[in-house]
A and B are shown apart, each in its own frame.
Chain A
């Protein structure tokens, strides 16, 4: 235990995901000691991110306004929706530049072991959008691992009776991997070569 503000900082940092007590201590001392680091700038960025960023009311990706940049863009094809687990996956796919349509962020994948069922994801919101916007194709770009596959299967089973084309990323992605770590070329190829479910 340290005294005063440094311990408060360590406590706050160690509540972040992936930051253990040791890392929190290292980060806290770095912030205090590093002359090049403007602590004020870091603090402002944290506050601004929390205050100004929210989830897009259409696609649920992280967005600065009520609607994200992609949902606001009239040039994007509203009849195609690419479904991803998290905002970071959307960002990775967007970088590959092959999706002309829009996105839908589920907020995770089905995983009974972690207590995450379909009702904990934004599945109903997806079904509502599909019905309202006369969506023609849904691309399921959940991660190529067990949970991502099972989630894709679940969503596909709900969409197919409505006569919508449902596709899944082609193989070529590392199995068991995360989309966010796939390189742009591989991701682009996987999207181009998607197959119908």
Chain B
């Protein structure tokens, strides 16, 4: 996948910008708070049709103080094995966004996302390694829908079945069986089994690659980073629904006492171990970040393997948390990965041979890199 150019209007801090994008490595340089992350965000949004940072589009629209409404506009062109795509997006502060691809309206994100793949890594990813388990579950679901865009509905279907079932258990008067519980059991098992199977496939696709990426950055030996899926319901794909059902039955009495669903992918864990220790809590800041960025780079390689094409990769501030040795090792490994854009806070971090965009106060200057 390759993004050729982008135009932004009223997106975050940008009133207007127009950029050609190198097919290789580009470094966006600028002090923090000057808008370099916003630029990566705009590029990612153009192909993924959502922000990697915020779930609401409202902060993306640049508005004059006190104004209401308004829109941000993104326009650009990308090419992949499945064709050329002119993408035009209007992000509206109030109302539904408008998206056109090659001049016709696109209704679902996945209709574009299955042609154009992108992977975004940013400082928030530290939570995948060091945060609560829900960050790791969300990461697994991101891997699922980046690799297989048609599966993007799995996680939300399960989430809805879970919320319905939990509400039923909460509102249950406490005598007899909660009315209709069987129906929600069936929905939970159907969607939960599908999600479990997809997460297992997703983790299998990235675990070995994440370990390789981690070793390349940190100069550690074999087994330095262990990535392992620990599902709530453990069974072979063929027995999954059966095992899920049995586990639910076994916990039924407990569920009625605690009035909450105790079995299912909402209790999955993605175990991460660095040098044999649980990454959460034990890894140093530098190691935790190296693990976080390795997971995203592994996803990019897994997508390449799955689609036969390198995705566009965005790394927001990849070096700051690393010591000079790890920083150099990561920087050296950024070439040859197809189109890759990094945002960095100062010139000291410029990798060799990168195209350079200098960002200052909501505008972009195209400059020469160091060689």
The residues of B that contact A9 with a CB separation of less than 8 Å are none
Choose among A113, A115, A154, A176 the residue that contacts B180 (Cβ–Cβ < 8 A): A154
Interface range on chain B (Cβ under 8 Å from partner)? 10 to 19
Q: How far is the CB of B154 from the nearest CB of chain A, in Å?
A: 11
Is the CB of A117 closer than 8 A to any CB of chain B?
Answer: yes
Is the CB of B309 closer than 8 A to any CB of chain A?
Answer: no
Judge whether A154 and B157 touch: CB under 8 Å.
no
Is the CB of A5 closer than 8 A to any CB of chain B?
Answer: no
Q: How far is the CB of B311 from the nearest CB of chain A, in Å?
A: 27
Is the CB of A147 closer than 8 A to any CB of chain B?
Answer: yes
Judge whether A113 and B183 touch: CB under 8 Å.
no
Most buried by B among A111, A112, A113, A152: A112
Is the CB of A153 closer than 8 A to any CB of chain B?
Answer: yes
Judge whether B186 and A153 touch: CB under 8 Å.
yes
Choose among B153, B160, B180, B191 the residue that contacts A117 (Cβ–Cβ < 8 A): B180
Is the CB of B243 closer than 8 A to any CB of chain A?
Answer: no
Judge whether A151 and B183 touch: CB under 8 Å.
yes
| Cα distance, A176 to B154, chains bound together (Å) | 11
Judge whether A118 and B186 touch: CB under 8 Å.
no
Q: How far is the CB of B75 from the nearest CB of chain A, in Å?
A: 27
A6-22 toward B: CB 8 Å interface, digit per residue (1/0)? 00000000000000000
**8 Å CB contacts to A: which residues of B157-203?**
157, 160-161, 163-165, 167-168, 171, 179-180, 182-184, 186-187, 191
| Cα distance, A115 to B167, chains bound together (Å) | 9
Is the CB of A92 closer than 8 A to any CB of chain B?
Answer: no
Measured CB to CB, the nearest residue on chain B to A150 is B183
Judge whether B183 and A154 touch: CB under 8 Å.
yes
Measured CB to CB, the nearest residue on chain B to A118 is B179
The residues of B that contact A112 with a CB separation of less than 8 Å are 164-165, 167-168, 171, 184
| Cα distance, A119 to B179, chains bound together (Å) | 9
Is the CB of A78 closer than 8 A to any CB of chain B?
Answer: no
B5-42 toward A: CB 8 Å interface, digit per residue (1/0)? 00000000000000000000000000000000000000
Judge whether A154 and B182 touch: CB under 8 Å.
yes
The residues of A that contact B157 with a CB separation of less than 8 Å are 146, 176
Given A146-B160, A149-B186, A153-B186, check contact A110 B180 (CB 8 Å): yes
| Cα distance, A59 to B147, chains bound together (Å) | 47
Judge whether A146 and B161 touch: CB under 8 Å.
yes
Judge whether A152 and B164 touch: CB under 8 Å.
no
The residues of B that contact A118 with a CB separation of less than 8 Å are 179-180
Judge whether A154 and B179 touch: CB under 8 Å.
yes
A154-176 toward B: CB 8 Å interface, digit per residue (1/0)? 10010000000000000000001
The residues of B that contact A153 with a CB separation of less than 8 Å are 180, 182-183, 186
The residues of A that contact B161 with a CB separation of less than 8 Å are 146
| Cα distance, A153 to B179, chains bound together (Å) | 11
**8 Å CB contacts to B: which residues of A96-111?**
110-111
Q: How far is the CB of A168 from the nearest CB of chain B, in Å?
A: 12
Given A146-B157, A146-B161, A176-B157, check contact A110 B167 (CB 8 Å): no
Judge whether A152 and B168 touch: CB under 8 Å.
no
Q: How far is the CB of A151 from the nearest CB of chain B, in Å?
A: 7
The residues of B that contact A154 with a CB separation of less than 8 Å are 179-180, 182-183
Q: How far is the CB of A87 from the nearest CB of chain B, in Å?
A: 23
Q: How far is the CB of B251 from the nearest CB of chain A, in Å?
A: 19
Q: How far is the CB of A152 from the nearest CB of chain B, in Å?
A: 7
Q: How far is the CB of B49 from the nearest CB of chain A, in Å?
A: 19
The residues of A that contact B183 with a CB separation of less than 8 Å are 110, 149-154
| Cα distance, A176 to B150, chains bound together (Å) | 14
Given A117-B179, A118-B179, check contact A150 B184 (CB 8 Å): yes
Sampled A-B contacts (24; CB under 8 Å): A111-B164, A112-B165, A112-B168, A112-B171, A112-B184, A113-B163, A113-B164, A113-B167, A117-B179, A118-B180, A119-B179, A146-B157, A146-B161, A146-B164, A146-B191, A149-B183, A150-B180, A153-B182, A153-B183, A153-B186, A154-B180, A154-B182, A154-B183, A176-B157
* Chain A residues engaging chain B, CB cutoff 8 angstroms: 110-113, 115, 117-119, 146-147, 149-154, 157, 176
What 4 pairs across the A-B complex have the smallest Cβ distances? A150-B183, A153-B183, A112-B167, A112-B168
